[in-house]
Amino acid sequence: MEKRAYIETYGCQMNVNDTEVIFSILKDAGYARTEVMEQADLVMANTCSIRDNAEQRIWGRIEAFNQLRASRPGLIVGIVGCMAERLKDKLLETHKVDLVVGPDAYRSLPRLLNAIGPDSPQIDVLLSRDETYADIPPVRTDRNGISAFISIMRGCNNVCSYCVVPYTRGAERSRDANSIAREACDVYQKGYREVTLLGQNVDSYLWNSGTESVTFAGLLERVAAIAPDLRVRFATSHPKDISDEVIYTMAAHPNICKHIHLPVQSGSTRLLEKMRRKYSREWYLERVAKIREVMPECGLTTDVIAGFCSETPEDHQDTLSLMEEVGFDWAFMFAYSDRPGTLANRTMQDDVPADEKNRRLNEIIQLQNRKSLERYRAQIGKRLEVLVEGPSKRDPSMLCGRASNNMMCVFPAAGRAAGQYTQVLVKDCTSATLLCE
């Protein structure tokens, strides 16, 4: 009898793609995917460790999984992903789970599941220098069948002082460009009309086969050439690596979306150096200027950290002034969270009081909300091409979809359907949505 697997996914888009890879591996091991936890024989959380509050949520979910196990004897409970890699045996010691598997060990899941017994939990958190899962076709978990995630690389070599990713996902390695193109062709033939190429730092993608070398700009061109009505997005760019070649490649292909997520983290050069970001405030602003020179309508989003180690009021003002100058469409904004094992945790003092972090974060949020509204208002009166994603969550009689610049648009259905392109006229907006006809 076929068993059923249920996975909850936390964190970034890369974790969503990892979950799709895991379902593919489990399918070959005799597990079917279910979205109903109470029907599952295997329950797992695919976890994120970037911030402490993300991990705290997982502890609560483990308790919920174990409550379910009390009513379903034989249920297997597992933790996979970055939190599994970071905490390793501690997950087996402090909480009752049967399975702990790191991001590079998903191929071992069938073997580990077969070895689990009443007193024999299983663990594999071995990091790899070459695992990319390039040969595993993901089981798509998206609901609309329109947008697909494709992983192009794994790991990270940057070792920013605040970040756990190099320790939980290992060293950077790029996936075979031919396998990426094949996967993009496959999803297009299955009806998908948008792919997002994923990596911790996509701009440093470099694949060498011995006979050819493919950079990220070359990969973008290869995927964009599959079909003119296949949109191409990517995340995430690193300010120190985004090249003129990538910018000009984006501008040259109408189906490469004009949106770049370019995390700045701080507007202070002093703090950027402490963060080991390997660029200055001036470098960042020059890259933004180049993007807007070549693609004036390009959407720009970012990440911002408030209250990093030793941040002064002047450093905070540098961040606010950079945000004011750039005018981001949107931002992920967080108070600094000290992560065990990072360089900052080992060598720096988390010395900005929590209430001051929150005060600065609130100032950042208020400024960004104002800039977002300005950016969205600037779209009023423009005609945009939108890929229809499906019904609006707030009003099922309306449709929604994103413009090339990544702004969400809502508009009357008028006979249109998900997967179609449509032209809309922007009539009004909120700070997060364009209201169109």
Q: What is the largest CA-CA distance in the chain?
A: 65
Closest of 150, 214, 134, 137 to residue 184, by C-alpha:
150
Residues 407 and 349 placed together within one structural domain of the fold: no
- Residue type at 241? D
So what's the pLDDT on residue 342? Answer: 96
So what's the pLDDT on residue 54? Answer: 83
Residues 340 and 390 placed together within one structural domain of the fold: no
CA 355 to chain centre: 29
Q: b vs e for 388-420, b when ≥16 Cβ sit within 10 Å of the residue's Cβ?
A: bbbbbeeeeebbbbbbbbbbbbbbeeeeeebbe
Crossing angle of helices 244-252 and 216-224, rounded to 10°: 10
Residue at 271 is within a domain: no
Cis peptide before 236 (omega within 30 of 0): yes
Residues 26 and 104 placed together within one structural domain of the fold: yes
The CATH number linked to 158 is 3.30.750.210
Residue at 264 is within a domain: no
3-class state of residue 386 by DSSP: strand
Q: Which among 212, 233, 257 is the end of a domain?
A: 257
- Dump the DSSP string for 20-68: HHHHHHHHHTTEEE-S-GGG-SEEEEEE--SSHHHHHHHHHHHHHHHHH
Residues 26 and 105 placed together within one structural domain of the fold: yes
Q: Do the beta carbons of residue 200 and residue 114 sit within 8 Å?
A: no
Closest of 272, 246, 274, 241 to residue 258, by C-alpha:
246
Domain boundaries, position 82: 3-124
Torsion sign, CA atoms 149, 155, 157, 158: positive
Q: Do the beta carbons of residue 45 and residue 8 sit within 8 Å?
A: yes
Residue at 241 is within a domain: yes
So what's the pLDDT on residue 134? Answer: 95
Q: Which among 257, 284, 310 is the end of a domain?
A: 257
Count of the separate structural domains present in the chain? 4
Please state, in angstroms and rounded to a whole number, the distance separating the CA atoms of residues 402 and 436. 12
Task: For the chain, 437 residues long, give each residue's pLDDT as a single digit of tens.
Answer: 789 999 999 988 999 999 999 999 999 999 999 999 999 999 999 999 888 888 889 999 999 999 999 999 899 999 999 999 999 999 988 778 999 999 999 999 999 999 998 889 999 999 999 999 999 999 999 878 999 999 999 999 999 999 999 999 999 999 999 999 999 999 999 999 999 999 999 999 999 988 899 999 999 999 999 999 999 999 999 999 999 999 999 999 999 999 999 999 999 999 999 999 999 999 999 999 999 999 999 999 999 999 999 999 999 999 999 999 999 999 999 999 999 999 999 999 999 999 999 999 999 999 999 999 999 999 999 999 999 999 998 898 999 999 999 999 999 998 899 999 999 999 999 999 999 99
Residues 393 and 345 placed together within one structural domain of the fold: no
Residues 353 and 403 placed together within one structural domain of the fold: no
Residues 347 and 366 placed together within one structural domain of the fold: yes
Please state, in angstroms and rounded to a whole number, the distance separating the CA atoms of residues 353 and 290. 37
**Residues, the chain, total?**
437
Residues 112 and 27 placed together within one structural domain of the fold: yes
Q: What is the value of pTM for the model shown?
A: 0.95
Residue at 363 is within a domain: yes
Please state, in angstroms and rounded to a whole number, the distance separating the CA atoms of residues 221 and 219. 5
So what's the pLDDT on residue 143? Answer: 79
Closest of 317, 328, 198, 316 to residue 262, by C-alpha:
328
Contacts of residue 312, defined as CB under 8 A and 6 or more positions apart, other chains included, come to none
Residues 429 and 318 placed together within one structural domain of the fold: no
Residues 30 and 77 placed together within one structural domain of the fold: yes
Q: Which among 211, 240, 257 is the end of a domain?
A: 257
Residue 350, burial from CB neighbour count under 10 angstroms (0-12, 13-18, 19+): middle
- Dump the DSSP string for 387-437: EEEEE-SS-TTEEEEEETTS-EEEEE-TT--TT-EEEEEEEEE-SSEEEE-
- C-alpha R_g of the chain: 22
Residue at 136 is within a domain: no
Residues 115 and 12 placed together within one structural domain of the fold: yes
Residue at 187 is within a domain: yes
Residue 119, burial from CB neighbour count under 10 angstroms (0-12, 13-18, 19+): exposed
Q: Do the beta carbons of residue 206 and residue 220 sit within 8 Å?
A: no
So what's the pLDDT on residue 267? Answer: 98
The CATH number linked to 59 is 3.40.50.12160
Torsion sign, CA atoms 258, 263, 264, 270: negative
Residue at 270 is within a domain: no
Residue at 315 is within a domain: yes
The CATH number linked to 397 is 2.40.50
Residues 310 and 410 placed together within one structural domain of the fold: no
